Amino acid sequence: MVKRLIQLFLCLLGLIGVMVVGVGAEEAAEKWTFSIFFPPTHAQAKVAMDFAKEIEKRTDHRVEITCFPGGTLTGASQVYDGVVNGISDLGNSCFAYTRGRFPAMAVVDLPLGYLNGLVASRVADSFAMAARPEELKDVKVLYVHAHGPGLLHTRKPVQTLKDLRGMKIRATGLSAKIVEALGAVPVAMPQGGTYEALQKGVVEGTFGPIEVLKGWKQGEVVQYTTECFNVGYTTAMFVVMNLQKWNALPDDIKKIMDATSREWVDVHGRAWDDADREGREYTLGLGNKILPLSAEESAEWRVAVKPVIEDYIRTTPDGQTHVDRIQGILNKYQP
Quick: pLDDT tens for 172-229: 878 899 999 999 999 998 888 999 999 999 999 999 999 999 989 999 999 999 999 9
Nearest to 153 by CA among 297, 286, 47, 36: 286
Antiparallel, parallel or unpaired: β 205-208 and 151-154: antiparallel
Q: What is the mean pLDDT of residues 145-172?
A: 96
Nearest to 220 by CA among 289, 281, 286: 286
Beta-sheet strands, E only, within the chain: 30-36, 63-68, 90-94, 139-146, 151-154, 168-171, 185-188, 205-208, 224-227, 236-242, 289-292
The answer on pLDDT for 333 being more than 50 is yes
**DSSP codes, 137-204:** TTEEEEEEEE-S--EEEESS---SHHHHTT-EEEE-THHHHHHHHTT-EEEE--GGGHHHHHHHTS-S
The answer on pLDDT for 134 being more than 80 is yes
The answer on pLDDT for 24 being more than 80 is no
Residue length, the chain? 335
The answer on pLDDT for 27 being more than 70 is no
At 4 the pLDDT is: 52
CB neighbour burial string for 225-240, b if at least 16 within 10 angstroms, e if fewer: bbbbbbbbbbbbbbbb
How high is the mean pLDDT of the chain? 92
| 145-155 pLDDT tens trace | 999 999 999 99
- pLDDT bin (cut points 50, 70, 90) of residue 23 is very low
The answer on pLDDT for 19 being more than 50 is no
Q: What is the mean pLDDT of residues 310-323?
A: 97
Cα separation, 217 vs 150, in Å, equals 16
| 235-290 pLDDT tens trace | 999 999 999 999 999 999 999 999 999 999 999 999 999 999 999 999 999 999 99
The answer on pLDDT for 17 being more than 50 is no
Amino acid symbol at 116: N
At residue 112, the 3 state secondary structure works out as coil
At 135 the pLDDT is: 98
Lowest mean pLDDT among 60-69, 187-196, 303-312: 187-196
Dihedral angle computed from the Cα positions of residues 8, 13, 17 and 19, in that order, rounded to the nearest 10 degrees: 60
Cα separation, 53 vs 124, in Å, equals 24
Q: What is the mean pLDDT of residues 121-130?
A: 98
| 106-115 pLDDT tens trace | 999 999 999 8
Cα separation, 297 vs 292, in Å, equals 10
At 25 the pLDDT is: 42
Cα separation, 240 vs 254, in Å, equals 13
What residue segments make up the domains of the chain, in order of their start?
A: 25-146+235-276, 151-233+286-333
The answer on pLDDT for 41 being more than 60 is yes
151-233+286-333 topology per CATH: D-Maltodextrin-Binding Protein; domain 2 (3.40.190)
25-146+235-276 topology per CATH: D-Maltodextrin-Binding Protein; domain 2 (3.40.190)
The answer on pLDDT for 20 being more than 70 is no
